[in-house]
Amino acid sequence: MKIAIIGAGVAGMTCAVEFAERGAAVEIFEQAQGFGPKSCSWYAGGMLSPWCEYEHSAELIAEFGEQSLAWWTKRVPTVVRQGSLVLAHGRYSSELVAFSRRTTRYEELDAAAIGELEPALKGRFLRALFFRDEAHVDPRKALRSLADRVIALGGRIHFGVTCADQSTNDRLVIDCTGWAARHHLKDLRGVKGEMLLLRSKEVTLRRPVRLLDPRIPAYIVPRPDGVFMVGATMIESEDASRITARSMVELLSAACSLHPAFAEAEVLEIGAQVRPAFPDNMPRIVWRRDRIHINGFYRHGFLLAPAFACMAADAVLNGERSSQVEYEDCA
Ligand SMILES: Cc1cc2nc3c(=O)[nH]c(=O)nc-3n(C[C@H](O)[C@H](O)[C@H](O)COP(=O)(O)OP(=O)(O)OC[C@H]3O[C@@H](n4cnc5c(N)ncnc54)[C@H](O)[C@@H]3O)c2cc1C
């Protein structure tokens, strides 16, 4: 079967790998000249945190997230499985209790255990929750790994091409254009996310750390070479053009309150993008006569895209019906 995938964000690339692995002839069309800032995926933290995300998500997120975690681990060599850590300063310790009630699959750590796991945080926090089974990826490297895999499986990627430029009559079109598909998916909304990339020679972290704070919840994800992604705001806004001064101050404050040495870090990058989200914040596969849309990944594109790619492949290649696939205008 021939498949044309529009959009090379995480939704498109995971789909491309899944369909190619099952023997389909896959071509991807991406409007940008390469992987980069036109996609929401470029700015993601890359956290694969099914159990932390229980905090504000449906139960299905954990189930699909666990499946996706296994998918990533099998295919992408740079997945880091060191768990994730959730912390709060003493005055916000009730936040940690509330978080623990809304989540699952964690261990409670005391100050000594925190220092053993993350020496840089020794003596700074009294209690933490440790989600041992969680993982993270560097999204930019992960997209490139998926591209290598698609090409090795015989697929092709065309950058600098929009779907309008391509005749797709002889193949099934899978639209993974994220926020750009809003004119076709009318209840899709945008949730702005802002982030920073910092470099510090003084701080070392092995795993993502979430800092609970009722005013400024934030997280820091370590990447190689002393780079840290600090994220992310959640603003009901469809304007991705700028990060605001307030958001920048808040993200930097969160980083410095985790470790004061972040005050001396280099600011490598400032970014903002719009997360595509449906009203229930769950992704959907919408099968229409002329194309299939896979969209609405909200804050869970890396966490959930593989599970949805598998569901789409099951539906298309095996005719399997799943509760996550909506059929519209189909015979
Ligand atoms: C700051 C931030 C932090 C985040 N952190 C995490 C995290 O830690 N974990 C997690 O799981 N998720 C995270 N997310 C969410 C995640 O990034 C999104 O859910 C995900 O990137 C959405 O992927 P997508 O492929 O649907 O869309 P996109 O990544 O936006 O990809 C869509 C692609 O389609 C292309 N395109 C659009 N129109 C056309 C066209 N006509 N023709 C060809 N190409 C087209 C675009 O150029 C783009 O490359 C975060 C998001 C943000 C903003």
Instruction: Please indicate whether residue 283, judged by its CB atom, sits closer than 6 Å to ligand 1.
Output: no
Nearest CA to ligand 1 atom 18: 301
Q: Report the distance separating Cα 219 and Cα 10, nearest Å.
A: 21
Q: Report the distance separating Cα 108 and Cα 114, nearest Å.
A: 10
Can you tell me the mean pLDDT for 311-325? 93
According to the model, what pLDDT value does residue 280 have?
Answer: 93
Instruction: Please indicate whether residue 302, judged by its CB atom, sits closer than 6 Å to ligand 1.
Output: yes
Q: To test the ligand 1 pocket, which listed residue (162, 275, 293, 300) has its Cβ within 8 A of the most ligand atoms?
A: 275
**Taking the alpha carbons of 41, 46, 50, 51 in that order, is the dihedral positive or negative?**
negative
Give the distance (Å) from ligand 1 centre to CA of residue 96.
30
Give the distance (Å) from ligand 1 centre to CA of residue 267.
23
Q: To test the ligand 1 pocket, which listed residue (41, 51, 144) has its Cβ within 8 A of the most ligand atoms?
A: 41
* Cβ 314 vs Cβ 231: under 8 Å: no
Confidence of residue 289 (pLDDT cuts 50, 70, 90): confident
pLDDT tens profile 89-139: 999 999 999 999 999 999 999 999 999 999 999 999 999 999 999 999 999
pLDDT tens profile 213-249: 988 889 999 999 999 999 999 999 998 888 999 999 9
Which residue intervals of the chain bear CATH 3.40.50.720?
Answer: 2-51+138-187+281-327
According to the model, what pLDDT value does residue 284 have?
Answer: 96
Question: What are the phi and psi torsion angles at 73 (to 5°)?
Answer: -60, -35
DSSP H or E segment with residue 30 = strand 25-30
- Look at domain 84-132+189-277 and name its CATH class: alpha beta
What are the strands of the beta sheet with 107-110, ordered from one edge? 107-110, 127-131, 84-88, 209-212, 218-223, 227-231, 189-199, 266-277
Confidence of residue 184 (pLDDT cuts 50, 70, 90): very high
Residue with tokens 């498949």: 3
Question: What are the phi and psi torsion angles at 316 (to 5°)?
Answer: -75, -45
Instruction: Please indicate whether residue 12, judged by its CB atom, sits closer than 6 Å to ligand 1.
Output: yes
Q: To test the ligand 1 pocket, which listed residue (299, 303, 304, 308) has its Cβ within 8 A of the most ligand atoms?
A: 299
Give the distance (Å) from ligand 1 centre to CA of residue 274.
8
pLDDT tens profile 148-166: 999 999 999 999 998 765 5
**What radius of gyration do the chain's Cα atoms show?**
20
Fold of 2-51+138-187+281-327: Rossmann fold (3.40.50)
Which residue intervals of the chain bear CATH 3.30.9.10?
Answer: 84-132+189-277
Instruction: Please indicate whether residue 57, judged by its CB atom, sits closer than 6 Å to ligand 1.
Output: no
Instruction: Please indicate whether residue 100, judged by its CB atom, sits closer than 6 Å to ligand 1.
Output: no
Residue with tokens 């205008």: 329
According to the model, what pLDDT value does residue 165 have?
Answer: 56
Can you tell me the mean pLDDT for 317-322? 91
Give the distance (Å) from ligand 1 centre to CA of residue 40.
3
pTM of the model: 0.96
Q: Report the distance separating Cα 32 and Cα 125, nearest Å.
A: 43
Instruction: Please indicate whether residue 281, judged by its CB atom, sits closer than 6 Å to ligand 1.
Output: no
- Residue 317 clears pLDDT 80, i.e. is over it: yes
Q: Report the distance separating Cα 2 and Cα 19, nearest Å.
A: 10
Confidence of residue 54 (pLDDT cuts 50, 70, 90): confident
Tokens at 36, concatenated? 């980069």
Q: Report the distance separating Cα 211 and Cα 220, nearest Å.
A: 8
- Residue 167 clears pLDDT 60, i.e. is over it: no
Give the distance (Å) from ligand 1 centre to CA of residue 111.
37
Give the distance (Å) from ligand 1 centre to CA of residue 89.
32
Give the distance (Å) from ligand 1 centre to CA of residue 315.
23
Can you tell me the mean pLDDT for 298-318? 97
DSSP label of 259: -
According to the model, what pLDDT value does residue 254 have?
Answer: 96
- Residue 73 clears pLDDT 60, i.e. is over it: yes
Q: Which of 150, 141, 162, 139 is nearest to 19 (CA)?
A: 150
